[in-house]
Amino acid sequence: MNDSPDVNTKSALLAAAIQVFADKGFDSATVRDICGRAKANVAAVNYHYGSKDGLYAAVLAEIFPTGEERHAQITPDLSPEERLREFIRGLASDIFERGSDTIAQRWAIFLREMAKPSGNLDYIVQHHVQPRADELRCILSEILGPNAPDTTLAYCSANIWALMLDHLLIQPILDRLTPDRPAADNGLDLFVDHVFRFSLGGLKAMKG
């Protein structure tokens, strides 16, 4: 098994696929475009990944790795409010981090998958959303107290997700409504502070 040429085209194919799928979406992405960027032959996709669907599955496996159980990051000795803040900060920096393109592309693909679910959404939810949702639910449960009904807990959990995700979703709308708004990725701390305060206010309103 030769390493450099073989693995190179295969991984180049994967990297190009991440770009194109994030940019165009699955339907609009073409294998010829992907192979072109990877400087590979058109047949390479089917050879290395079986099909376009197989390549997409490989992309999802790459950007949503199975072992992504990072929800032990938050130190448990903090107050639930501070843990909520850490949760929000972690999610926000993950979404708006400009360091790696892969992260932005991950959320772009995630967004596309939400707007037009394919059979792979289950996989993404299971490995990418579920752990964080459980963690958030745990935090909210402590903040809201043991007497909070499940309905409230579910709604509030969805709400806080919404505050983060929508900022990703409605970005193109905000660009059209208020082009001069403060960029979320520049003043990330500002954004985190706001979401934290707003969320906490909302939660307390549900409590009392």
- Binding residues (CB under 8 A) for a copy of itself: these are 25, 27-28, 111-112, 114-117, 121-122, 125-126, 129-130, 133, 151-152, 154-156, 158-159, 161-163, 165-167, 169-170, 172-174, 176-178, 181-182, 190-191, 194-195, 197-206
Q: Which is nearer to a copy of itself, 55 or 144 (CB)?
A: 144
- Alpha carbon separation from 50 to 44, 46, 60, 101, 131 (Å, rounded): 9, 4, 15, 26, 31
Listed in sequence order, the DSSP H helices in 64-187 are 80-96, 101-115, 121-124, 130-144, 150-169, 171-177
Q: Which is nearer to a copy of itself, 59 or 136 (CB)?
A: 136
Chosen from a copy of itself, DNA, none, partner binding at 101 (C-beta under 5 to 8 Å by type): none
C-alpha to C-alpha distance for 36 and 189, rounded to whole angstroms:
40
Q: Please give the residues from 52 up to 111 whose contact with DNA meets the rule CB under 7 A.
A: 52-53
Q: What is the DSSP-derived secondary structure letter of residue 116?
A: S
Contact call for residues 80 and 142 (beta carbons, < 8 A): yes
C-alpha to C-alpha distance for 62 and 202, rounded to whole angstroms:
36
Binding track over 19-48 against DNA, x by CB under 7 A: ----------xxxxx------xxxxxxxxx
C-alpha to C-alpha distance for 34 and 31, rounded to whole angstroms:
5
Is the four-CA dihedral 146, 148, 151, 157 of positive or negative sign? Answer: negative
Is residue 6 within the footprint of DNA (CB under 7 A)?
Answer: yes
Q: Which of 51, 126, 130, 186 binds DNA (CB under 7 A)?
A: 51
C-alpha to C-alpha distance for 178 and 194, rounded to whole angstroms:
18
Is residue 9 within the footprint of DNA (CB under 7 A)?
Answer: yes
C-alpha to C-alpha distance for 60 and 40, rounded to whole angstroms:
21
* Phi, psi for residue 105 in degrees, rounded to 5: -70, -30
Chosen from DNA, a copy of itself, none, partner binding at 47 (C-beta under 5 to 8 Å by type): DNA
**Minimum Å distance from CB 37 to DNA?**
13
Chosen from a copy of itself, DNA, none, partner binding at 174 (C-beta under 5 to 8 Å by type): a copy of itself
**Minimum Å distance from CB 122 to a copy of itself?**
6
Q: Which is nearer to DNA, 50 or 149 (CB)?
A: 50
Residues that bind DNA (CB under 7 A): 1-2, 5-6, 8-10, 29-33, 40-48, 51-53
